[in-house]
Amino acid sequence: MNSNNSARRETTIRDLIARQKPGWSLDQRFYTDPEVYQLELDRIITKNWILAGHQSQLPKPGDFRVIKVANESAIIVRNKDGELKAFANVCRHRGSLVCLEQSGNKRKFECPYHGWVYDTDGNLLAARNMPDDFDKKSHSLHPVSLDNVHGLLFIAFCDNPPSLEGAKRDLAEPMAIFDFPNLKVAAQKSYPIAANWKLSIENYQECYHCATAHPDYAKMHTLMLDPAKRERVQGHMLEKMESCGIKNLFYDFIDTKARPGEQGYGYGRTAMFEGYVTGSRDGQPIAPLLGNIKDYDGGASDFSFGPFSFLLAYSDHVVAYVFTPVDKDHCQCEIYWLVRGDAVEGKDYNRDELMWLWDVTTYADEKIIVNNWKGVNSRYYRPGPFSGMERAESIYVDWILQQLRA
């Protein structure tokens, strides 16, 4: 692309951002324009941390998982010294994906194309029939940024991602309540969604749709209520929570607490309707209580880490949601269900029952997101005003615009 074209492109996207009305849904081009998506890849998707699982998924040297986000693929592996490492899954010979498996255990990664071999530190060990003076040391796999926040693993496809220190510091206390470092992944499932990635996350940010789309969820969760109407049941939980071993803490939404250069994060706990103590089919206990929690307070805690990763911590299990783009028109929701590290499947919890609520809820979300996407693509689509129940979505959309403007 010549510089004239790229200058014109910058101006048009800048105009589009300037025209965007605060408190209204985004202009169609934010969802459909390939140039906007390219800008998102450069400024958002490869510049922020993305939840990539829990440390318990890689207990032994050689254990690895492959994480795909948009055009990128990373191998996360525990090396022979027991440290976690992450590399771009891109061969230093001619760029083939090196590891085609999703997860497993390996001492070496051999590229399927011409057989170059890498160790679990990403060093090139062997390259067949290369000249004698070929320097293997300068052909290691490119490192991908990796960090561990109290047991949760995050990756970022850039060298200088925002700092996670704020999240580590301020979320230490709420994460200790649920003993995050010692949880284990009881189940994991991918939900492909044929829609632009922002529509999926916007949908997760609001519960205006919950009453219409999620009859099961709406029976137990009070987020669908106006905050004023929620007060009584919230008060009931607040009275109980300290004696249940759950401290009353609250941090507001994305980026409002983070300092400059830090990744945004948030935490809050919301009461469930009376008679429901956790996110199970009948609202009754479904797994052993987490951490040092002594009893059910009837609440569920929301955590957020950056723009793609959200967790819901019930008293007896945690559900983690990661929404990532596949391309401009497709995204993926990856869900992890976490329980106490010492809980035994079949005895302490039933995997299908554990997954039930968020499995049905996510399939219902997929339907409404795809319908939303179809309508947004129409020539008749025009941005519409957010309701008061879409405040978090409105903040999210503003944040996206800020990143694109930067």
Can you give the binding site for Fe ion, defined by CB under 5 A?
365
Q: Which one of Fe ion, ligand FES, none is in contact with 74 (Cβ closer than 5 to 8 A by kind)?
A: none
Residue (116 or 178) nearer to ligand FES, CB: 116
Task: State the nearest-atom distance from the C-beta of 111 to ligand FES, in Å.
Answer: 3
Task: State the nearest-atom distance from the C-beta of 94 to ligand FES, in Å.
Answer: 4
Beta strands per DSSP E along 287-357: 299-305, 309-313, 318-327, 330-340
Q: Retrieve residue 143's tokens.
A: 């490192």
Residue (99 or 397) nearer to ligand FES, CB: 99
Radius of gyration of the chain (CA): 22
Residue (144 or 218) nearer to Fe ion, CB: 218
Count of other CB atoms within 10 angstroms of residue 306: 25
Reference 312, options 279, 342, 354, 359; nearest CA is: 279
CA atoms lying within 13 Å on the CB side of residue 228: 1
270 near 234, Cβ under 8 Å? yes
69 near 45, Cβ under 8 Å? yes
Which strands make up the sheet holding 117-119, listed edge to edge? 108-110, 117-119, 124-126
Tell me the C-alpha distance between 172 and 265, whole Å: 12
Reference 153, options 80, 57, 61, 81; nearest CA is: 57
Tell me the C-alpha distance between 300 and 28, whole Å: 35
Q: Which one of Fe ion, ligand FES, none is in contact with 116 (Cβ closer than 5 to 8 A by kind)?
A: ligand FES
Q: Which one of Fe ion, ligand FES, none is in contact with 96 (Cβ closer than 5 to 8 A by kind)?
A: ligand FES
Residue (93 or 230) nearer to ligand FES, CB: 93
Task: State the nearest-atom distance from the C-beta of 209 to ligand FES, in Å.
Answer: 46
Task: State the nearest-atom distance from the C-beta of 89 to Fe ion, in Å.
Answer: 32
The per-residue DSSP string of 347-391 comes to TTB-HHHHHHHHHHHHHHHHHHHHHHHHHHTSTT----BPPGGGH
Q: Which one of ligand FES, Fe ion, none is in contact with 113 (Cβ closer than 5 to 8 A by kind)?
A: ligand FES
Task: State the nearest-atom distance from the C-beta of 135 to ligand FES, in Å.
Answer: 16
Site of tokens 């760029």: 95
Task: State the nearest-atom distance from the C-beta of 112 to ligand FES, in Å.
Answer: 8
Position 284: which residue type?
Q
Residue (109 or 386) nearer to ligand FES, CB: 109
Task: State the nearest-atom distance from the C-beta of 115 to ligand FES, in Å.
Answer: 6
Q: Which one of Fe ion, ligand FES, none is in contact with 234 (Cβ closer than 5 to 8 A by kind)?
A: none
Which positions touch ligand FES (CB under 6 A)?
Answer: 91, 93-96, 111, 113-116
Q: Which one of ligand FES, Fe ion, none is in contact with 192 (Cβ closer than 5 to 8 A by kind)?
A: none
Residue (209 or 269) nearer to Fe ion, CB: 209
65 near 109, Cβ under 8 Å? no
Count of other CB atoms within 10 angstroms of residue 243: 10
Q: Which one of Fe ion, ligand FES, none is in contact with 9 (Cβ closer than 5 to 8 A by kind)?
A: none
Count of other CB atoms within 10 angstroms of residue 390: 20
- With vertex at residue 302, the alpha carbon angle to CA 296 and CA 303, rounded to the nearest 5 degrees, is 125
Q: Which one of ligand FES, Fe ion, none is in contact with 215 (Cβ closer than 5 to 8 A by kind)?
A: none
Residue (119 or 365) nearer to Fe ion, CB: 365
Q: Is 335 helix (H, G, I), strand (E, B) or coil?
A: strand
Q: Which one of ligand FES, Fe ion, none is in contact with 94 (Cβ closer than 5 to 8 A by kind)?
A: ligand FES
Residue at shortest CB range from Fe ion = 365
Residue (255 or 366) nearer to Fe ion, CB: 366
Residue (96 or 145) nearer to ligand FES, CB: 96
Residue (61 or 143) nearer to ligand FES, CB: 143
Reference 143, options 90, 103, 95, 102; nearest CA is: 90
Task: State the nearest-atom distance from the C-beta of 132 to ligand FES, in Å.
Answer: 18
Task: State the nearest-atom distance from the C-beta of 352 to ligand FES, in Å.
Answer: 40
Task: State the nearest-atom distance from the C-beta of 99 to ligand FES, in Å.
Answer: 11
Q: Which one of Fe ion, ligand FES, none is in contact with 111 (Cβ closer than 5 to 8 A by kind)?
A: ligand FES
